[in-house]
Amino acid sequence: MRHITRLLIANRGEIALRIIATARVMGLRAIAVYSEADVDAAHVAAADEAYLIGPAEAARSYLNVEAILTAAQRSRADAIHPGYGFLSEQARFARAVADAGLNFVGPPASVLAVVGDKLQARTIALEAGVPVVPGAAFGNRGEASKLAAALGYPLLVKAAAGGGGRGMRVVRDESELGQALEAGEREAGAAFGDGRVYLEKYLARPRHVEVQILADRHGHVIALGERECSIQRRHQKLIEESPSPGLGADLRRRMIDAALKLAARANYVNAGTVEFLVDGDQFYFLEVNARLQVEHPVTEWRFGCDLVAEQLKLAMGERVEERWEGRGHAIECRVYAEDASADFRPVAGEVLYFHQPAGPGVRVDSWLTSGSQVTSFYDGLLAKVITYGDDRNQARARMAHALGEFVLAGVPHTAEFLRDVVRSAPFARAELSTRFIADHFGAWRPAPESTELAMLAGALTRHGAPSDDLSGAPDSAAKPDRSPWRELGGFSLWNR
């Protein structure tokens, strides 16, 4: 593979900034693309070059293969990093990049086509001797009904061509099957352009554990431990940690061995994760995420590595190194633009004021500055707060403190909710499952005083006055004229 010198990042937000940071360290020229909604975005300012690729709608910009390849040609890029989401797992995009003579930083199109189809991935898992959750595809409604009866209720309708909970439906009994199939097919078609679904046995309270893998073009595959991803809402991960607490040494060894066998069987290349559901001492293959994961920082911190740098090295044909050893404990919390007082409804708006936490063992990956615009066109992830400690208790204590220092006015967000989860007794005891939120926080509501103070902070910030600079933003970023925390005598929002 050709050496990379000019890297185009086909993404936006915090992951674009994350890739730019590694590109700088490696001496690469970082090239950004942006939509009309992102003209003033942080990743555009941070890059060495930036190219407009279309209107705000993702389908006409960040999902527009032709526009991205045109930007690559204009910028004389020799490689494209897709980040995560958007086109990152699309075989057609990887193929188009290769056909244009560019280096795709990720698995080749042939691998993406196989592992990106859940039915084919299940077949590979079975061929590799990896257990899968009982389930199968079907040809028509009659076959679906017979298959459902054979599997037994409850069961899941799942999209064959994608994940993230899209197209997924829980079916409790036969009366719900027809409607669930129609809804799943419709949602899968809209999300992935492929309406195929299949049926799978529903596990009521499994844990969700994934293994990070790195694979080179010479047939070598290694694993960098596992991550616990059980804390979810609406099939979307909220909190991840490494190592997985309470996972026995034998079960951990068997899962990692299974991940390596599956990767080898699929001829996998570059970074990725093999995901499993864990039910007691038994585990089942779930899917392969053939890209960098949102939660990659917990592995980076625990193993002292830079996964983006490893991706770039592997894309240039280097051999994978087996020199890392895991230590300590890392936790990540995803802060979203959601209104917790309205059933976590996605929201948009202007960030009037932003102060991110800092301190020993604290890392924040975010694209926010005061004045940033949160739009409804893209995913609502605002920031990832990551903490590290010598053990889980220290990492958890640091996370609770960091979330208490997370201050954002102007856009509702989930930091207070996450803080309450991390501080809870069930989380401290690692009583984890994919039903954790429903079991323990289904009736959660923000404290009234938090909502009132958020409104007051926004009002004070909007009207302006002299302030202390608490934003932590670079000198070139816009800063508020007045700090609400000065007016409130040093009070930090969400501390209660």
What positions carry a catalytic annotation?
291
58 contacts: CB under 8 Å, gap ≥ 6? 35, 86, 377, 378
The overall longest dimension of the chain from CA atoms, in Å, is 70
- Rounded to whole angstroms, how far apart are CA atoms 47 and 30? 5
Q: Which of 409, 404, 407, 416 is nearest to 371 (CA)?
A: 409
Distances (CA, A) of 483 to 55, 373, 378: 34, 19, 29
Edge-to-edge strand list for the sheet holding 169-171? 135-136, 197-201, 155-159, 169-171
* C-beta atoms surrounding 445 within 10 Å: 12
Tokens 């938090």 correspond to 450
CB 20 within 8 A of CB 30: yes
- Rounded to whole angstroms, how far apart are CA atoms 115 and 254? 21
**Coil, strand or helix: which one is 387?**
strand
CB 229 within 8 A of CB 209: yes
- Rounded to whole angstroms, how far apart are CA atoms 20 and 46? 7
- Rounded to whole angstroms, how far apart are CA atoms 112 and 91? 5
CB 177 within 8 A of CB 148: yes
Q: What are 236's strand-pairing partners?
A: 233
**Residue 423 C-beta-side C-alpha neighbours within 13 Å:** 13
**Residue 36 C-beta-side C-alpha neighbours within 13 Å:** 6
- Rounded to whole angstroms, how far apart are CA atoms 417 and 27? 40
CB 307 within 8 A of CB 208: no
**Coil, strand or helix: which one is 171?**
strand
- Rounded to whole angstroms, how far apart are CA atoms 340 and 345? 7
Q: What are 285's strand-pairing partners?
A: 132, 276
Q: Which of 408, 235, 206, 222 is nearest to 326 (CA)?
A: 222
- Rounded to whole angstroms, how far apart are CA atoms 269 and 275? 17
Strands (E), 36-176: 49-54, 79-81, 103-104, 135-136, 155-159, 169-171
- H-run or E-run covering 151: helix 141-151
